[in-house]
Amino acid sequence: MSRTGDSQRSVEARQPAGDRPGHLGFIMDGNGRWAQQRQLPRTDGHAEGAEALRRVLRLAREQEIAEVTCFALSTENSEQRPAEELEFLYELLADHLEQEREEMERLQICFRAIGRLQELPRRLIDAIEKAQSETSEHQGLVFRLAVNYGGRAEMADAFCSAGAGDRSLIGAQKESALAAQLYDPAMPDLDLLVRTGGEMRLSNFLLWHSSYAELYFTPVLWPDFAAADFTAALEEYSRRSRRFGSVSSTTSGGDA
């Protein structure tokens, strides 16, 4: 499992400012369909998806969003997709990390990765470790990539590491013990989770951290996700009322 070092900034320093989400998540869906619509190989869709990721990170930096976490590859993808496509994705991710060194330096992006990273090919593991090391002191946007990641797998791994079945732990103690063993213990909960591609489900992404996230679904395929789509998601978020279980005296409905 991936763990962060002492250089990870405090969670408290990254709370939402005004109407902007402090932690923005993306389920980057639609690469394959984008390629299919154009009668192109699926790999072309993934390559265009990498360009969309570059675009989104620049937009997030401009908007002074503190953290962005993107779902790149699930544990289910790793088990079920064709070997040729997986090999391409692994190489694409490694290439992306190596090619973006100057951009991450310029934007002061602090890179992190979460998931069962030890199961990835050696070249990708090396690229992840190098990017994390080289950007650990950057003070800009925290960019986190979920690779070979599953929300249930994360909680199962954390449960095994935490001794969460210890009967001496009660209530919040159990929750704290479990949270301390997640892939990135310092990662704050999601404020806004955006899924492209028209599907309306979480697909096992950041289940722990999405407990009170605002959800935004768009039919736009990930390679086509542009500045206007990014702005639309933020504007929708600014209109939401976030009560975290409390009761509002001015609104009805919502959390019980």
Cβ atoms within 10 A of the Cβ of 38, count? Answer: 12
CA–centroid distance for 64 within its chain: 17
Structure tokens at 177: 């013990």
Nearest Cα neighbor of 72 from 58, 56, 61, 64 is 56
CA–centroid distance for 100 within its chain: 18
For tokens 């404020």, the residue is: 191
Residues 46, 183, 84, CA angle at the centre, nearest 5°? 30
Contact criterion met (CB below 8 Å) for 227 and 244: no
Catalytic residue among 19, 44, 77, 204: 77
Query: Burial, 41: exposed, middle or buried (Cβ in 10 Å; 0-12, 13-18, 19+)?
Result: middle
Active site residue 204: no
Cβ atoms within 10 A of the Cβ of 185, count? Answer: 13
Active site residue 191: no
Nearest Cα neighbor of 132 from 58, 183, 86 is 183
Catalytic residue among 29, 184, 191, 229: 29
HEC profile for 189-240?
Answer: CCCEEEECCCCCCCCCCCCCCCCCCEEEECCCCHHHCCHHHHHHHHHHHHHC
CA-CA distance, 184 to 231, in Å (whole number)?
28
| Residues with catalytic function | 29, 77
